[in-house]
Structure 1
Amino acid sequence: MTLRRAWVAVAIAAVLAFPWAAGSYVNYVTCLALTYSLVTLSLNWVTGYAGQITLGQGGFFAVGAYLTAAAVVHAGWPLPAAILLSAVATGALGLLLGVPALRLQGHYLALATLFFSLAVPEAIMALPSLTGGANGINVPPSTTFFGLHLSNLRDAYYVLIALVTLVVLVDRTMLRSKLGRAFLAIRDSETAAASVGIPIEVYKVTAFTASGVIAGLAGGLYGSIAGYLNPATFDLWLSIYFFAALIVGGLGNVYGAVIGGILVVALPQLFSQAQNLANILYGAILVVVLLTLPGGVADWPRLSRAVRWLWHPR
């Protein structure tokens, strides 16, 4: 018990001290990784918990980023209000996408959400007065988030750590609740879930809505941290990377979503001079994980036991 608490204290101290020990580039990559982890966590609601295959997460992420930027730049909104607007708007967008998606399953749903991911960058390009079009849009570095400057990477790091931790805790609590058990029942067998009275349509739409909220929140934070948005950043590959990251990290696993989000950022940075090699490596890792670790990296027994040991002291 004492040793476990000591390890937890060391881990917390290391997390808090990290941005002061790391350089600016490492801090930027870390903030990007945490942002992408939020998006992967959002995807987990639809694909990991409700069992619906979607390739639209990059679209929600882009909408959240651009709505926040437009509200700050053109309307002069404070950053917290702009991010809240983005989260609400992308949640509503998730609801709107989730309702017609009830008629689709499997690869048909994947194709429909893929078209959504393709349409969002085109819509951004078509609204240059709001989004800057192909030239992109700059987000003023003076914008603050409850007194913290997200352009300051240390401030951004602490905000992101807090939000990722909050989402992880919410997910863990949800999975142990009636809502979580219903999601998992739908994922395992819609027929069996319906036979015991679970309103499948309501839960699916709820998953899409929650997923949109979290992805929009991540997008709003991303724009403020990066300081510049360009539609080329939000191409179809981004949605595919998020989906692959969730599979590699662990489908339906809260910690796996975080690990997968980090991998989305880490590999391109390691192979920044050879992007094609990074894409090949993504594919190779995905194949290896599917063959050797069907539950994802986070389901690796040793890693899984270590995480449980830290998070569930007895």
Structure 2
Amino acid sequence: MKVDATQHREGQVDGRKSSFGGSHRRAWTFIGLFALLALPLFLGEYTQYVVNRIVVTAIAIVGFNIALGYLGQLAFANVAFFGIGAYATAIVLGILHLPLELALVASALAGAIGGLIVSLPALRGIRGLYLAIITLAFGELLRWAYIYGGPVTQGANGIDVPGSTFLGFEMTTAFNQYYLFVGIGALMIWLTLVLLRSKFGRAIVAIRDSAVAATSLGISVPRYVIFTFCWSGCVTAVGGGLSAITVGRVIPDMFDMGALINQFAMVMVGGLGSIGGSVLGAIVLGIVPDLLSAYPGTAEVVTSTVMILVLLFLPRGLISLWGGRGSKRYAYFYKEPV
């Protein structure tokens, strides 16, 4: 039996808004915000670094999930966008010595341009595995450019990212970086949610389900595909730019096939077509390497095992546990009946 998405939105009962659901959601939102603001007070320096890394990864996974989960395009350009953003920030800060504000803007614009380039094969009707191979090749081509980019990318040695300031605040400590990352992450996620809950979000889901049917409804498929890839590239690249600040150095090996597989696993484990699932996947798989750092080789085994178990028993991802097995709440983002 198919589920009508308009009748199972959070905070609604039989198509009507529920004041209890709305107040309950707002309460949890305030609790979550308070926890995020207070978290650094209880963390050591290294733990704070790990949390910062998870935050910027979560931003990138949200961007990846936009094209993969909502538009339904099997495009593996996420690491390419991530690298574009990281190198844009590193070049602006480490080579051009410009302010951090301009570096982040450059990352977002570079990611959007990368998304525009990736959207071109999709506009020509290339889908599925063919699009996956093309986008994989695009990422490897960029990695080759990083290695042989001469003074622009400084080759295999990469670029050092110096300390900087943002609106007068020093970004040289993990403590200060955290609040910048959370603020930018919240902004990017909020803007993404606004888009997905608007006419734009309904249009790209319609395109994912059937491009022919979407065209018959008057939806401009090329325009929505281009904008979706551009926004996906922008969000992912911003995460990459913040990652460069976190690590302090950008090298080509950070954007290899292993990084792509890891990010893809985060999307699938958290929940395909779910913003909350993107964040959850980044948290769960982001802490595995550090928890098992004393046992070399076990992180890969645990990550693979978690992914297999989730795909077998929770095909909608860990986020589906929030609404129970076969939750109607997420039926809107999946084609199979529930």
- TM-score, with normalisation over the residues of structure 1? 0.90
Alpha-carbon distance in 1 for matches of 2:202, 2:140: 33
Corresponding residue to 2:312 among 260, 277, 291: 291
Corresponding residue to 1:133 among 155, 164, 185: 155
Alpha-carbon distance in 1 for matches of 2:123, 2:301: 34
Question: Aligned pair 1:211/2:208, yes or no?
Answer: no
Q: Which residue of 1 aligns with 2:95?
A: 74
Corresponding residue to 1:193 among 214, 237, 246: 214
Q: Which residue of 2 aligns with 1:300?
A: 321
Q: How many residues align?
A: 304
| Higher RCO (CA 8 Å, separation ≥ 6 residues) | 1
Larger displacement relative to structure 2 (3-12 or 279-288): 3-12
Q: Which residue of 2 aligns with 1:60?
A: 81
Specify whether residues 102 and 6 from structure 1 end up closer, same or farther in structure 2 by C-alpha distance, changes over 3 A only: closer
Shift of 1:4: 7.1
Shift of 1:256: 0.4
**Matched position secondary structure for 1:96:** helix
- Aligned pairs for 1:50-199 within 5 A: 50-103=71-124, 104-141=126-163, 143-199=164-220
Q: Which residue of 2 aligns with 1:282?
A: 303
Specify whether residues 302 and 77 from structure 1 end up closer, same or farther in structure 2 by C-alpha distance, changes over 3 A only: same
1:41-85 Cα shifts (integer Å, max 9, x gaps) = 001111111110121111111111111111122222111102101
Structure 2: tracts of 5 or more residues without a match: 1-19, 330-338
Specify whether residues 5 and 198 from structure 1 end up closer, same or farther in structure 2 by C-alpha distance, changes over 3 A only: closer
Specify whether residues 10 and 90 from structure 1 end up closer, same or farther in structure 2 by C-alpha distance, changes over 3 A only: closer
| Aligned residue identity for 1:136 | G
Q: Which residue of 2 aligns with 1:311?
A: none
Alpha-carbon distance in 1 for matches of 2:90, 2:29: 38
Q: Which residue of 2 aligns with 1:225?
A: 246
Specify whether residues 186 and 17 from structure 1 end up closer, same or farther in structure 2 by C-alpha distance, changes over 3 A only: same
| Aligned residue identity for 1:160 | F
**Matched position secondary structure for 1:198:** coil
Corresponding residue to 1:259 among 254, 262, 280: 280
**Matched position secondary structure for 1:114:** helix
> Is the 8 Å Cα contact of residues 59 and 189 (structure 2) preserved in structure 1?
no
Corresponding residue to 1:240 among 257, 261, 267: 261
| Aligned residue identity for 1:133 | G
> Is the 8 Å Cα contact of residues 64 and 232 (structure 2) preserved in structure 1?
yes
Shift of 1:90: 1.6
Alpha-carbon distance in 2 for matches of 1:7, 1:94: 34
Alpha-carbon distance in 2 for matches of 1:212, 1:8: 27
Specify whether residues 123 and 268 from structure 1 end up closer, same or farther in structure 2 by C-alpha distance, changes over 3 A only: same
Alpha-carbon distance in 1 for matches of 2:115, 2:24: 44
Shift of 1:300: 1.5
Alpha-carbon distance in 2 for matches of 1:5, 1:52: 33
> Is the 8 Å Cα contact of residues 33 and 264 (structure 1) preserved in structure 2?
no
**Matched position secondary structure for 1:300:** helix
1:93-151 Cα shifts (integer Å, max 9, x gaps) = 2102211232310111111111122222211110241222222221112x112223333
> Is the 8 Å Cα contact of residues 55 and 240 (structure 1) preserved in structure 2?
no
> Could you say which structure has the higher helix fraction?
1
**Matched position secondary structure for 2:151:** helix
Alpha-carbon distance in 2 for matches of 1:176, 1:70: 35
| Aligned residue identity for 1:105 | R
Alpha-carbon distance in 2 for matches of 1:288, 1:87: 35
- TM-score, with normalisation over the residues of structure 2? 0.84
Q: Which residue of 2 aligns with 1:47?
A: 68
Alpha-carbon distance in 2 for matches of 1:205, 1:274: 44
